[in-house]
Structure 1
Amino acid sequence: MPPGGMGPGQMATMPSAGIPGLPQQTPRKKGRLIALLAVGGAVVAVLLAATAVVVVRNGSDEPSGPVAAEQCIDKRLDLSGKSSTLRSVPSALRVGCKSDQAKGRITKVLRAGEGTFGGFTFSSEGCPDDSDGGARVRVSDTDTRYWDVCVRNLKGPHPGDPGMGGGQIGPGDCISGEVAFNREVPCSSSDWYGKVIARVAQESQCPSPRTMETAKMSSSSDPRPVLCLGAGGGVVGPGDCIKDPTYSFLGLEKADCNDRAAVAKITGRVRTKNECPAESDKYMEAKEEAYLPILCIKQLRPTLKEQLDDLGRT
């Protein structure tokens, strides 16, 4: 067979496609191209994931729709005004609770309304006991619709905590002598009159025998208008001594039992004189309606009135 010729049954080999003198493309190169595309796809996926993370991190938790409990506002609540139940409250805007502007969290929505925005007062009765106070909230500066809400500060101090002087009046809180105005004051202040040991619907529900006096909230619609006051502050109880009440316009005033100003020691506060303890030698009766109208006493020294009466008999 001549060199390069075809033997019997053989077919001629066709020349490979391509440009003479250049290396031929191989399947390996195609595989590398596929691999590169695959790697490129992975890069794209990673970039998309990173973008998603950025979007989530930079996203806002600004709520939408009506104002609701557990949302946040841009004001914190501190003590202000003369009454804890009817005092000026701040106007505030709703913000996301993760925002740097968030200062308080809404604990309850009391009511919604619409109108001008400015100086106003509203009752915070009906707020949860741990609320620091109330606020009137809008969702934007241009909104005329508002919501009256109860609020607890995101950070302390909390005026609504027992004895701190703000929020709802309840057990552990103190009131001033201006009980007609239901003024709550911090128990650390010098002018607190009585400490609340219970808040009830009727005087008969006050805990006995710890309740010495009662005071009533001014709101006729309040479901628990009666404040039960225990001994302490200006409220006298068994073991306390009192000054001469002859010409006192401030009511009974306490005195150190070892002081000459003390004229009597309280032995009990009861409903009828027959309930006075055995060591009592006198009693005083309230001129006005009182929770416990009889004050049982053991006299330490004569009052000015008794001394003057004795002079008149000589």
Structure 2
Amino acid sequence: MRERWSVGVVCALLAALVTGCSSANGSDAGEGRLGGKAPASSTSSATTQPSGYGTVFLGVDECSSFGTTSFTEVPCTSERAAARVIARYDGDVSDGPACPAITDFVLHISAQGSSGGVGDGVIPKGYACMRNLEPPHPGDPGGGGGPRTIVGDCVYGSGSGQVRETACDGSGQRKPQYKVVKAVLRRASCPASTALYVQLGGEQPVGCARPV
């Protein structure tokens, strides 16, 4: 039984791929504050049922397809396969582990009970960290998106002391103003040229950014 999601979910996913936002904490604002708070994640929500391709819906190494009217789990060998799950966690993204740094977008999955049919089961609330099978990869350093801010990413001031991520090569809608050049444990360890501190999370939570 293949799973299909609504057009609204597709639009949200495609918007995430085009705009690209970053975060260390999985919030949904798509922005951060100068001097600290990281930009927010690209996410989507869906009510789901098992597809029959694995014991876990959209488990690690399973693939998804983007369509004009639906978003579907498909075999990775399918010509329709467009993105692969590189990590899968239960619960809320704000409470769970961070997605890998190379994640292109995060898919939120709503809890779904068993319908009693063949191949059906129970899906807990969770999230899948997705990586496009082909470029572009907004989660790569300087790519202008993804759910995390990492070394090599660029940001611009969006007003009211906030920043958003954008492509370092200038191909985004906004030109880059700062680039994260180093990750450290404390601000005092940043280079003297640092003009902006960005929250990255992890073992080295402070991103040192300089003007570009």
Report the TM-score when normalising by structure 2. Answer: 0.55
- How far apart, CA to CA, are the structure 2 residues paired with 1:62 and 1:139? 18
Matched residue, 1:177: 157
- How far apart, CA to CA, are the structure 1 residues paired with 2:96 and 2:136? 19
- How far apart, CA to CA, are the structure 2 residues paired with 1:203 and 1:146? 36
Alpha-carbon contact 1:93-1:139 (below 8 Å) kept:
no
State the 1:104 CA deviation: 0.6
Matched residue, 1:135: 107
Matched residue, 2:62: 71
- How far apart, CA to CA, are the structure 2 residues paired with 1:124 and 1:213? 31
Specify every segment of 5 or more residues in structure 1 that has no aligned partner in the other structure, as ranges. 1-60, 77-90, 114-120, 233-314
Pairing of 1:130-169 with structure 2 (within 5 A) = 130-137=102-109, 145-167=124-146, 168-169=148-149
Deviates more, 1:151-160 or 1:98-107: 98-107
Matched residue, 2:183: 199
State the 1:74 CA deviation: 2.4
> Compared with structure 1, are the counterparts of its residues 198 and 104 closer, same or farther at alpha carbon in structure 2 (3 Å cutoff)?
same
Specify every segment of 5 or more residues in structure 2 that has no aligned partner in the other structure, as ranges. 1-51, 116-121
Counting matched residue pairs gives 148
SS in 1 for 2:89: strand
Amino acid at match of 1:70: D
> Compared with structure 1, are the counterparts of its residues 69 and 63 closer, same or farther at alpha carbon in structure 2 (3 Å cutoff)?
same
Matched residue, 1:212: 194
Amino acid at match of 2:99: C
Alpha-carbon contact 2:65-2:72 (below 8 Å) kept:
yes
Alpha-carbon contact 2:90-2:124 (below 8 Å) kept:
no
Highest CA radius of gyration, 1 or 2? Answer: 1
- How far apart, CA to CA, are the structure 1 residues paired with 2:125 and 2:175? 36
- How far apart, CA to CA, are the structure 2 residues paired with 1:123 and 1:174? 26
- How far apart, CA to CA, are the structure 2 residues paired with 1:123 and 1:101? 32
State the 1:175 CA deviation: 0.6
Which has the larger helix fraction?
1
Structure 1 runs of 4+ off > 6 angstroms?
121-125
Amino acid at match of 2:106: G
- How far apart, CA to CA, are the structure 1 residues paired with 2:139 and 2:211? 22
State the 1:125 CA deviation: 7.3
State the 1:137 CA deviation: 4.0
State the superposition RMSD in angstroms: 3.8
Larger RCO (CA within 8 A; separation ≥ 6): 2
| Identity value in percent | 26
Matched residue, 2:76: 97
Alpha-carbon contact 1:93-1:138 (below 8 Å) kept:
no
Amino acid at match of 1:169: T
